[in-house]
Amino acid sequence: MTANPPSRIAQLRQASVAMLDGLTPAQQRCQSHPELSPMLWHVGHVLFMETYWLAERVFGDTSVTNAWRDLYVPELAAKDERSARLPEAPDLRRWASQIAEQNDANWQHARNVDHPLLADGYLAAFVRQHYAQHLETMRLVRTQLALAEYTPAPTAIEAESPDTVFETVGAHVVDIGTATIDAYDNEQPVFTAYPETFAIAARCVTNAQWLGFIDAGGYQNADWWDDAGWAWRESAQVEHPQHWHALENGWFIPTPEFADIAQAPVHGIGWYEARAYARYAGARLPRELEWEAARRAGVLSGVGQVWEWCADAFYPYPGFCAFPYDGYSMPWFDGGHFVARGASLHSEIEIRRPGFRNFYPPTHRHIHAGLRLAYT
């Protein structure tokens, strides 16, 4: 029996559909970045997945999901093939309204149903987080669309050194992971860790500090990069964060979320770039366990402004067990995805907990991620 009413799910649904507002039909259908799907697809996908888990998995009703499975199941529709197959926005909005009504009725019915997925409110929490994660992705879609519309003008910013204030975290014992019902499988089981003494920056690296890295030849000096990162940098011809624009008289840094752009945390950088900066600064990226230990100790300022790259490849915790399906975490324990912690300004409350683990390939630069330095 579920203890979670659907009111928050209804809010997240409405917020998802509202992501279509203010966009032209072409923008709604546009694939704004190779790693992002069109806005229309995201809206349809989140409603489809709520219906899949609730109507199909709990009640055995496939009347909705069978009709849309080959479009809204990610594995069945390549990103670059989705746009042409999507319905028009008015049709999608009508469908969304119908699905919302059906799902609200199913959530009410679920209160009196005994099903493993409903135990302790698990499924409602799972669905809320799925909506929350896609809302963040939809905000990234809107960001990429906006970048194409900006008129570049110089941003007043001066380069700064990598100097920063560090907080020392002494050797101690800490529980790592999330014990509550909303935990994803990769956050469990909770285990005891024994981090040695380390130092971690009180705040994230800023845009001004990143400009210092650029001015110091950060994208030209291979000594600060590992071999794979340098090969990627040369191949992709990367010379600055993803959303920065080089002008004849300076840089255009479109970061409307922050009033003080120079001191705002840098983002638009991948893991390779983050690690190169850390070496330039004479430091390193924090290990994932260190980051969570420092977060739980309360020594990190500005958490939740940008995702923060950690040193680790995404890995299973001791005793990991996939749930509710193998595909959420297991395929990404491949050594090619790296952990980012802390949430961003685009993140909903559902994924801002200390134990939440995000993970991406080291080349992803559109995800509003930055870095915080550490050293032993």
Same domain, 256 and 315: yes
Number of domains making up the chain: 2
State which residues form the domain around 285. 166-375
Quick check: is 90 in a domain? Answer: yes
Q: How many CB atoms lie within 10 A of CB 186?
A: 23
Of 147, 178, 207, the residue at which a domain comes to its end is 147
User: Does residue 317 carry a pLDDT above 50?
Assistant: yes
Quick check: is 161 in a domain? Answer: no
Mean pLDDT of 2-21: 85
Tens-digit pLDDT profile for residues 151-201? 899 999 999 999 999 999 999 999 999 999 999 999 999 999 999 999 999
Same domain, 196 and 62: no
Same domain, 105 and 199: no
Same domain, 286 and 189: yes
Same domain, 140 and 202: no
Q: How far apart are CA 329 and CA 185, in angstroms?
A: 7
Same domain, 133 and 175: no
Whose CA is closest to 164, among 206, 196, 197, 198? Answer: 206
User: Does residue 3 carry a pLDDT above 70?
Assistant: no
Bin 173: left if φ > 0, else alpha if -120 < ψ < 50, else beta. beta
User: Does residue 119 carry a pLDDT above 70?
Assistant: yes
Mean pLDDT of 110-119: 96
CATH code of the domain in which 52 resides: 1.20.120
Same domain, 182 and 122: no
User: Does residue 2 carry a pLDDT above 90?
Assistant: no
CATH code of the domain in which 214 resides: 3.90.1580.10
Quick check: is 186 in a domain? Answer: yes
Mean pLDDT, rounded, of the chain: 96
Quick check: is 174 in a domain? Answer: yes
Same domain, 222 and 364: yes
Q: What is the pLDDT of residue 6?
A: 57
Of 147, 182, 217, the residue at which a domain comes to its end is 147
Of 83, 118, 147, the residue at which a domain comes to its end is 147
Quick check: is 159 in a domain? Answer: no
Quick check: is 299 in a domain? Answer: yes
Pairing of strands 307-313, 369-370: parallel
Tens-digit pLDDT profile for residues 278-291? 999 999 999 999 99
User: Does residue 79 carry a pLDDT above 50?
Assistant: yes
Bin 222: left if φ > 0, else alpha if -120 < ψ < 50, else beta. alpha
Mean pLDDT of 85-113: 97
Quick check: is 263 in a domain? Answer: yes
Tens-digit pLDDT profile for residues 202-214? 999 999 999 999 9
Same domain, 326 and 253: yes
Quick check: is 313 in a domain? Answer: yes
Q: What is the pLDDT of residue 11?
A: 96
Mean pLDDT of 250-267: 94
Distances (CA, A) of 298 to 75, 160, 215, 293: 40, 26, 33, 9
Same domain, 141 and 12: yes
Same domain, 134 and 180: no
Same domain, 344 and 217: yes
Q: How far apart are CA 162 and CA 62, in angstroms?
A: 56
User: Does residue 5 carry a pLDDT above 60?
Assistant: no
Categorize the per-residue pLDDT at 20 as very low, low, confident or very high, splitting at 50, 70 and 90. very high
Mean pLDDT of 40-55: 98
